[in-house]
Structure 1
Amino acid sequence: MTSRDMRVVAWPRWYDNPYLPNLVEGLNREGLRSGSAQLLLTAAMRLRAGDWLHVHWPGETHTYAARWRYQRGARSVDAQLRALKRRDVRIAWTAHNLLPHDDPHPDLGHRARSNLLDIVDHVFVHFEGARAELAREFGYDGPSTVVHHPHYVDAYPTPPSQRVAREELGLPADGFVALAFGLIRPYKGIDTLIEAFRRCARDDDRLVIAGAPAGGVQSTLETAAADPRIVLHARKIPDSRVPTYFAAADVATIAHRAFFTSGSALLSLSMGCPIVGPSVNHLADLAGGHRLFPADTSADGLADALCRARDESSLVDRVAIRNWAVDHGSWQATTETIANTLFGRPGGEGRGSRAG
């Protein structure tokens, strides 16, 4: 089978951010017939022996509150994946997360992930330490390739100046601004972040929380709305406005440890905005050069890091951060490495392979 004959279908389709569309487009440029499917059944209908199913966020398709629905969904996914294997369709997984976020049944989630790793032909990860985590958590030591998470510099308009951005958002010109951007979900620790901000904030400082609510976060929204120094934009932010929020902020915040890879971190660095967050997993790989202000994710730890970021804000070189993000991981390098791996060409498959 030549690369022009080989089909790669990404599943499940998730186009809420540019990651998957960019990946599909890039693999097509590399000569693979790449697409995506929302339903696993649809993906299966497109695939033949020798093709690849490229799995991304499988847990999101069966993470139900009702345990019986969760079990039924996970079993259905497992059965469909094993049916594909019997047809000699190959399966790759990009390990964005070890386990689903806000998983109501972690034991079932762990079992589903173990079942996936029992049958995959290859795993892609975004940082070197991910391999050790997969081995520790699931005993996986099969084929894997490190591919740095690509930047988003070209996916959004160029950020405006901080002065212009703050004027547009109605923020004080001279205060310290921290940003919590993206879906407002329970696992993100926004309650702890709010407490931390209150411990260190001055009158002109602001915490901007921007993103659509998801899950049981009503009490968090009410707490945020009660403090005039906290600016709450509880809605989906249009792509055209994303750079404005990061340009207005002195730092973006990641207030939780329950992450593996952080696309939000790459988005922030792509906008030239440093991060306050724990130096673990993917963030540890992104640290250095005032890109990360390390924080214990307790309220005290986050407060200390926010104060440190405020004190050192004049030392941050936003252009250098943006340039670093470009050098760290390009879409061309990512899609080239993935394509080489899937097709078995040099420069791809292998436990020691890297990109970036």
Structure 2
Amino acid sequence: MTTTAARAAVTKDPTTAGPDVIIVQQTLVPPDGHTKFVDQMVGMDNPAVVHRFFSWKRAIVSRYDVFHAHWPELTIRGATPLRRFMRRRYMDAFLLRARLTRTPIVRHLHNVEPHEPGSAAERRSLRRFDKATDVYIRLNPTTVPPTDRPVVTALHGHYRKAYAAHPLPEPQPGRVVYFGIIRPYKGVDRLATVFSELDGDDLSLRIVGSPSTGQREMVEAHCARDPRITALLRYVSDAELVDEVGRAELVVLPYNEMHNSGAILAAMSLSRPVLAPRTPANTALSEEVGPGWILEYDGDLTADVIRDALHTVRTGERSDEPDLSERDWDHVGRIIEGAYRQAIARAARRR
């Protein structure tokens, strides 16, 4: 689908279709005490929407008005081939149920493609899922949906309300912070390598987050080689995250692939400047929040890029805080409700 076609498919005005209160079956699991996208979804102050958490049994046999998918590939992955096979069959059973009952399917486009590619069987299942989808919700206006179904833009909401309960420390000069799940595509190895090329005992790199397989050993090796690099390698509480990110003079998110990032919104919510690769999504966000908050770089991350970014943070002009006025979750929630009602109306026309 071309970008022009994608823009033409955008629906700005929500319909009024559906019941007064919409019951939504999410593919999200319940909140676990760490602020995540699920907390924002279920925390929206919208009495017209009731959320249910995921299991394949609920998706297949329970009653609800809309099925809302996030990262659908995660619902069919598993630790063993048998488990993956069975979960793909669960998806097939759900799609049959959705077709027979005309249950509308809404899919949130968090990523253009899964970060970790799946098998050919998984890709076939996801294509069937996209074929059955009624409405897409994208987190930024640069995302092109995989099919020609209608698409609604609902910007990723901020985390200011969630983090406001915790004290925000002052930034420490020279402190560079990476935070978030540590996976190979997020470029933490490259960040630590080029940071060590920087001179100055007044500089430090703090790496915070839960590592995927093999990443803990990599980070610990960097910490052993350069005493200016320290790490907290686990999931952190909201209070710990606010403290760790709050102490950053500069947050660096050197992802090899970057489209939508909850981490960059978390940093903006805490008013900490971010260095990140230049992408259409990051450029659009930079224009939205105002100059000086998102510093983009081209090509590979280098020591010079980090040094120049620190200089810009210290000498450049920026507002007291990023402009996140379009990312209030109550506002976002009303847009998402509109997407649900549009999907309900579309499914009703198939009868």
- TM superposition score normalised by structure 2: 0.82
**2:70–2:108 contact (8 Å) kept in structure 1:** yes
Structure 2 partner of 1:235 = 234
Query: Deviation per CA, 1:75-99, whole angstroms, max 9, x where unpaired?
Result: 4324323322321111101111223
Alpha-carbon separation, structure 2, partners of 1:298 and 1:198: 15
State the AA in 1 paired with 2:190. Answer: T
1:31 matches 2:48:
yes
Distance 1:107 1:259, change over 3 A: farther
Of 35, 41, 53, 2:57 maps to: 41
1:3 matches 2:16:
no
Query: Deviation per CA, 1:60-85, whole angstroms, max 9, x where unpaired?
Result: 23334656654553343243233223
**1:246–1:268 contact (8 Å) kept in structure 2:** yes
1:190 matches 2:206:
no
1:77 matches 2:83:
no
The alpha-carbon deviation at position 22 of structure 1 amounts to 2.5
The alpha-carbon deviation at position 115 of structure 1 amounts to 2.2
Distance 1:100 1:90, change over 3 A: same
1:98 matches 2:112:
yes
1:19 matches 2:37:
yes
**2:59–2:94 contact (8 Å) kept in structure 1:** no
Distance 1:17 1:161, change over 3 A: closer
**Structure 2 unaligned runs (5+)?**
1-16, 347-351
State the AA in 2 paired with 1:311. Answer: H
Query: Deviation per CA, 1:107-151, whole angstroms, max 9, x where unpaired?
Result: 4554343222111010000111102xx3xxx4x121000111111
Partner SS state of residue 29, structure 1: coil
Structure 2 partner of 1:223 = 221
| Highest RCO, 1 vs 2 (Cα 8 Å, sep ≥ 6) | 2
Alpha-carbon separation, structure 1, partners of 2:148 and 2:124: 17
Distance 1:298 1:37, change over 3 A: same
Of 123, 132, 135, 1:119 maps to: 132
Of 159, 168, 173, 1:160 maps to: 168
Query: Deviation per CA, 1:216-275, whole angstroms, max 9, x where unpaired?
Result: 313312323212111111122111122111211012222113233111111110000111
Partner SS state of residue 230, structure 2: strand
**Structure 1 unaligned runs (5+)?**
164-172, 350-356
**2:189–2:218 contact (8 Å) kept in structure 1:** yes
Structure 2 partner of 1:337 = 335
CA RMSD of aligned residues (A): 2.7
Q: Identity across aligned pairs (percent)?
A: 22
Distance 1:30 1:106, change over 3 A: same
1:142 matches 2:149:
yes
1:271 matches 2:278:
no
The alpha-carbon deviation at position 297 of structure 1 amounts to 5.4
- TM superposition score normalised by structure 1: 0.81
Alpha-carbon separation, structure 1, partners of 2:98 and 2:188: 40
Alpha-carbon separation, structure 2, partners of 1:77 and 1:201: 53
Query: Deviation per CA, 1:173-230, whole angstroms, max 9, x where unpaired?
Result: 54x1111111222221211111121223522211110112222313312323212111
State the AA in 2 paired with 1:128. Answer: P
